[in-house]
Chain A
Amino acid sequence: MKQTAKNILSNKAVSAFLVLFVMSLFVGLKSPYFFTAGNFFNVLRQISIYGILAVAEALVIITGNIDLSVGYLFGLCGVFTAVLANAAVPAFLILPLVMLIGALIGCFSGFLVTKVGISAFIATLGVQNICRGSALLITGGNAISYKSSISVLGAGYLGSWPVSALIMISVGIFFAWVMQYTQFGRNVFASGSNIRSAKLAGIAVDRVRITVFAICGALCGLCGIIQSGNLHSAEAAAGAGFELNAIAAVVIGGTSMAGGEGTIIGVLIGAAIMGVLKNAFVLLRISAYWQIIVLGFVVILAVLADSLKQKRAER
């Protein structure tokens, strides 16, 4: 019994959920507005972009890489959404087109990392700048407003549920299933834990990694549509700094930065923890300076927990 409890608690996703639960309980006791339906859907909508980006980033991190371009890539995809909408491209075509653009840019990052041999940190940093510069070039620094029914993905509601949150939940469920129950998911984990063994087992590691970068890019495309749809306008700077929040959510959710380990559910819980933290600071009237400090500590604690676990495993 004691061992079972220990096993459950050692599951990082469960630990992250317990943190989220305790945190929510605390904020709920302190603020009468926290456990209201309005605030629940508000937080859910706010974390939808972080959640999807975190899933995208988690896939890359599980393969043992990192993608620093996700923030500006989704900003660029938002700009493409606005450009296509203003060019009167039908809404049903904008979604696949923008996701395709994101996937192609992701493929390019994957190619640089796997085939050219540039470290993921440097390659995606370069792609980040390319995306940012391209977005500025297209927009000229201006926000581009648009009117298209595609904006329902960012601004729409199904009853009380924000469409963007429903998309995040769907993305989460789909990739949780892919990672748990498909050969591709197993190959992704194998490519991140031990490349040599994976290659010996006949896994085309490079192809898996490029595919993961492409999926990451496509999800950035989806985020771009959601973000620009939310305000019916796209700005070049929209994704600035989002990559760090996405990486933080991945780490808080229990994904190992060393690769080969992590769960999509854990990642979504990580995004929720960050969302609740930000929401709590406003509801509890705590200085935003503290918010920055606390977020820093949370990320350090999450990485510390991961490295302690790895050291224990090595022993």
Chain B
Amino acid sequence: MSVETITGWPAARMRLRLPRPATLWHWAVFLVVAFFILAPLTFLIVGSLSDARLPTDIDFTHLSFKHYAEVWGDPSTYALFYNTFVYVSGAVAVGITIAATLAWVVERTDMPGKIWIYAGVPMTLAMPGMLQAMAWVLLLSPRIGFINQFFQSAFGLENPPFDVYTLPGLIFVEGLRLVPTAFLMLIPLLRSMDPSLEEAAAMSGASPASSVRKVTMRLMLPGLFAVLIYQAVTALEVFEVPGILGMPAGLYVFSTKVYSLLHSATGLPYYGQANSLAMLYLVVAVVATWAYAKVIAKSERYTIVTGKGYRPRLMKLGRWRWLPVALAIAFMTFSIILPFLVFLYVSFLPYLQAPSAAAFASMSLKHYHALFERDLIGTALWNTLILVVVTSTLTVVLSFLVSLVVVRSKFWGRRILDQLAFAPHAIPGIVMGVAFLWLFLQADKAGFALYGGLTSIAIAFTAGYISYGTRVMNAAILQIHKDLEEAAYVSGAPQWRVMWRVFYPLLLPSFVGVWIWTMLHVVRSASLPLILYEGQENQVISVLIWNMWDEGLIQIVGAIGVMMILVLLALTLCIRTIGFGRGAQAQ
């Protein structure tokens, strides 16, 4: 309450009625965020209604629901709904089943080697979806898949036993990718369960089975449901996995369909249809996110989320104790070890071939040399570095400023600002890409030549990631007791000194955390850059991998992939060691 009044004073004395500079910067932050969230969305909507063939020919007098009629009139839209539904529910079922099993065995049984699961499962977050999908193509594609080739030669099969370019293939790969996040969400759910609730049921005469059913399960249900919806939204928004596994076989889900409308093989992009489909996609994602928020709000009413750690009784597994270990090893193998080995293997090969003595004999480092010799790769690496640094820094700074206004000011629009900053959370990357594509095309017409360049990608990424950044910053600033700040004021420190000496050091871990998190996501994401980039000189590494894979340069992709996985693993390790929580000391 008082901070705002204090921030307004530049010198010893001033007139009370002057407009305060404090409110000015509040306004600036508000307007910037509002513009970069609302302007692209406006163009997304207008574009879906525009009859003009090109975004640059947009004319507000020619608006109609033509494109919506086209989308709804097309039978393939219903196939799209069906595919998306099967893919999302299948992936969530696979992911949650594996994650819940792993979480339960580490939390509630006496299995050995738990520390390795706690450390290992989250590390699989480092594996980019695009590379994961590519690795499984190399293993399970009907034509070149190593596993298929092995089965065919070993058992004399006529047809390859597996085909990864199918809905089950999509479900399997995306299911694996959902595991680490689901695992991280389920652990606290299991841990915050007060065992005395179960014990009370036992004392009331309930059998163990019935107390689990009537108490434990009931209490965990809303939390479990929340994890479910969250994972469904994630699967719905992913572009890279269905892009690699579905698009070549003509198997589309929402994200890939929108993309293919913009990158049609037969000429001009179908902007209008892409936008109206993106609107539909957006509605589905927003509804799911809204449902998630509702469920979360409801589950918080249960007392199980006390934030207190309990030590529940562990189930004795006896001679079965190695079963969960085997399960964990299998998961780690499928989700990171095997894909990495596949990349490593192909990166040394002169041409693609199944593992054999001859193959190993022909290995060389020439694709790694290529990394340093090809200008295209050098440019992409340099671009990626710039994009990552700019985006992460912008995200951290903007998130901090937004959270400062939201948490610590009396600015009239602070609630709206908070919601605006959180809104992109519900917007799939592809939709964000389409919306910003329109914004930059219009900006181009108005004389701001941002279209196709790195700046446009950085802006779009930042707009998307402040939804996460502001959540972290809100929490971190809330943890800094206001007295800490006021004690500095009464000790004689002016506003900017308080920022520098109290806020900055206490928030540093959060800054670093958000920075690395953003970096990890920017490097991995292909959807937004693929839609927004124009020209080879603006390629980033994810786009380059995508394009090289398309051109069949699999071994070089392998070499880049190996390097990328190693860097991402290192970064993931960093973020997990630093954590976000040191600010908690400030309480």
Chain B associates with chain A: no
Chain A residues in the interface with B (C-beta under 8 A): none
